[in-house]
Amino acid sequence: MADLLRLENVVSGYGDAVVLNGLSFAIKEGRSLALLGRNGTGKTTTIDTIVGVTRHHGGRIVLDGVDISAAAPEARAHAGIGWVPQERNIFKSLSVEENLTAVARPGRWDVRAVYTMFPRLGERRRNLGGQLSGGEQQMLAVARALVLNPRLLLLDEPLEGLAPIIVEELLAAIASLTREEGISAIVVEQKARKILATTDDAIVLDRGSIVHRSTSRELLGDPAALDLHLGVTSRN
The pLDDT of residue 232: 84
The backbone region for 95, taken as left when phi is positive above 0, alpha when psi lies in -120 to 50, beta otherwise, is beta
DSSP secondary structure letters along the chain:
--EEEEEEEEEEEETTEEEEEEEEEEEETT-EEEEE-STTSSHHHHHHHHHT-SEEEEEEEEETTEE-TT--HHHHHHHTEEEE-TT----TTSBHHHHHHTT--SSS--HHHHHHH-HHHHHTTTSBGGGS-HHHHHHHHHHHHHTT--SEEEEESTTTT--HHHHHHHHHHHHIIIIIS--EEEEE-S-HHHHHTT-SEEEEEETTEEEEEEEHHHHHT-HHHHHHHH---TT-
Please write the tens of the pLDDT for every residue from 170-201. 999 999 999 999 999 999 999 999 999 999 99
Same domain for 69 and 176, yes or no, is yes
Same domain for 23 and 138, yes or no, is no
The pLDDT of residue 234: 56
Residue 220 sits at φ, ψ, to 5 deg, of -60, -30
Same domain for 212 and 99, yes or no, is no
Same domain for 74 and 173, yes or no, is yes
99, 117, 149 - which closes a domain: 149
Same domain for 71 and 144, yes or no, is no
In a domain, 122, yes or no: yes
Same domain for 175 and 214, yes or no, is yes
In a domain, 163, yes or no: no
120, 149, 178 - which closes a domain: 149
Same domain for 128 and 102, yes or no, is yes
Same domain for 74 and 189, yes or no, is yes
- pLDDT digits (tens), the chain, 236 positions: 789 999 999 999 999 999 999 999 999 999 999 999 999 999 999 999 999 999 999 999 999 999 999 999 999 999 999 999 999 989 999 999 999 999 999 999 999 999 999 999 999 999 999 999 999 999 999 999 999 999 999 999 999 999 999 999 999 999 999 999 999 999 999 999 999 999 999 999 999 999 999 999 999 999 999 999 999 865 55
| Domain count for the chain | 2
The pLDDT of residue 235: 55
Same domain for 185 and 71, yes or no, is yes
The CATH number linked to 41 is: 3.40.50.300
The pLDDT of residue 2: 83
Same domain for 74 and 179, yes or no, is yes
Does residue 230 contact residue 236 with C-beta atoms inside 8 Å?
A: no
Strand partners, 81: 152
Q: Which domain holds residue 130?
A: 86-149
